[in-house]
Amino acid sequence: MDLPFIKVENVSYSYRGEGDAAIRVIKELSLEIDEGEFVAVLGHNGSGKSTLAKLLNMILTPASGKIFIEGKDITDENMSEEEIFALRKNVGMVFQNPDNQLVATIVEDDVAFGPENLGVPSQEIRRRVDEALSKVGMTEYAHHEPHRLSGGQKQRVAIAGIMAMLPKCIIFDESTAMLDPIGRREVMSAIKKLNSEMGITVIMITHYMDEAAMANRVVVLDDGRIALDGTPSEVFEKEELLRSMGLDVPQCTALVHRLRRAGIALEGECTDPEKCADLIATALGKELGNG
Ligand code: ADP
């Protein structure tokens, strides 16, 4: 049997609060993620999403429980520096604020920074930088200054920088939260592509339901535990439960649920606007053309 790429086993984590009191934010959480999956993580503010991401990226160490990446125990305290370094390389992370992630004064130098630190030979760096910039659609900006780019462009450069280190998995921690709608679309399209075309495992923390609907799997955290785990369609079906946890469903899903409650028979998935339009058109006995 194939090992899961990531296996989180009964993990708990606490921060130190006032008077050194432990505040438990991840509570005996177990989760398995296979290589090549595109998993969206949803949850109310404070539900533990970022903490989980930092545990997977080895920024934090669990108080109890174990985390395995490709079968290797990343919580093993006896690991050598080299082992830690090699494991960290597998899981890249893209954060919320693009300005905090860019280090160089020219885009291509920025993308080269990660592989340079890994000691990759310069010819290979050149190849990786070109490929990563091409994948995120930023080739023509290779010689530009990062600080002059739009938010979406900066974030795509940050993604290229992580891609150039060839991680097997990239965690996005609300990486579109500071972007305008165009920037969000650009970044989402880059994320989708690196999953579908390069097979990189994607874990994407977001509070945008339409973004979560683009994943293959949605995991919902509530108070440090997994409340729901399934396909976007399975998870968004549970509109009432999600609302009770302070979460939404995509607007088009809410629309279809409302019509169903009014007695209109709409059969099928309703996680994106096109599917919803099809359901409604079918119910009206019409067929939608292209466009
Ligand atoms: P989310 O990403 O879902 O918003 P977090 O993982 O950031 O949740 O936070 C979970 C809980 O842990 C929150 O209640 C938050 O206030 C608390 N927390 C996060 N970071 C720290 C920290 N460095 N010190 C103390 N408490 C923290």
Summarised one tens digit per residue, pLDDT across range 30-76 is: 999 999 999 999 999 999 999 999 999 999 999 999 999 999 999 98
Dihedral, 261, 264, 265, 270 alpha carbons, nearest 10:
-70
Q: What is the predicted pLDDT for the residue at 291?
A: 57
The answer on pLDDT for 189 being more than 80 is yes
Could you give the percent of the chain with pLDDT greater than 90?
85
From 219, 227, 229, 218, select the one nearest 245 (Cα to Cα): 227
8 A C-beta contact, residue 75 and residue 55 = no
8 A C-beta contact, residue 170 and residue 5 = no
Q: Which atom of ligand 1 is nearest to the CA of 221?
A: 3
Banded model confidence at residue 84, pLDDT cuts 50, 70, 90: confident
Q: What residue spans of 31-163 are helical by DSSP H?
A: 49-56, 81-90, 107-117, 122-135, 151-163
Could you give the percent of the chain with pLDDT greater than 70?
99
Ligand 1 pocket list (CB less than 6 A) = 15, 23, 25, 43, 45-51
Q: Which residues pair with 32 in a beta bridge?
A: 7
The answer on pLDDT for 2 being more than 80 is no
The answer on pLDDT for 290 being more than 70 is no
Lookup: tokens for 203 = 């874990």
Average of per-residue pLDDT across 228-249: 96
Give 115 Cα–ligand 1 centroid separation in angstroms. 31
Which residue's CA is the closest to the ligand 1 atom numbered 16? Answer: 46
Report the alpha-carbon distance of residue 207 to residue 214 in Å, rounded.
Answer: 13
Which residue's CA is the closest to the ligand 1 atom numbered 15? Answer: 46
Give 153 Cα–ligand 1 centroid separation in angstroms. 28
Average of per-residue pLDDT across 193-215: 96
pTM for the structure as a whole: 0.94
Three-class SS of 211-261: HHCCCCEEEEEECCEEEEEECHHHHHCCHHHHHHCCCCCCHHHHHHHHHHH
Q: How many CB atoms lie within 10 A of CB 82?
A: 8
Banded model confidence at residue 18, pLDDT cuts 50, 70, 90: confident
Q: Which atom of ligand 1 is nearest to the CA of 44?
A: 3
Question: Best-predicted range by mean pLDDT among 222-226, 262-266, 279-283?
Answer: 222-226
Q: How many residues does the chain have?
A: 291
pLDDT, mean over the chain: 94
The answer on pLDDT for 285 being more than 90 is no
The answer on pLDDT for 1 being more than 70 is no
Which residue's CA is the closest to the ligand 1 atom numbered 23? Answer: 15
> Tens of pLDDT along 131-163?
999 999 999 999 999 999 999 999 999 999 999
8 A C-beta contact, residue 136 and residue 87 = no
Lookup: tokens for 197 = 């075309």
Q: Which residues pair with 220 in a beta bridge?
A: 42, 228
Pocket test for ligand 1, best of 11, 42, 47, 51 (most atoms within 8 A of CB): 51
Looking at 79-88, 227-236, 259-268, which range is the least confident one?
Answer: 79-88
From 262, 260, 239, select the one nearest 250 (Cα to Cα): 239
* CA contacts within 13 A on the Cβ side of 163: 27
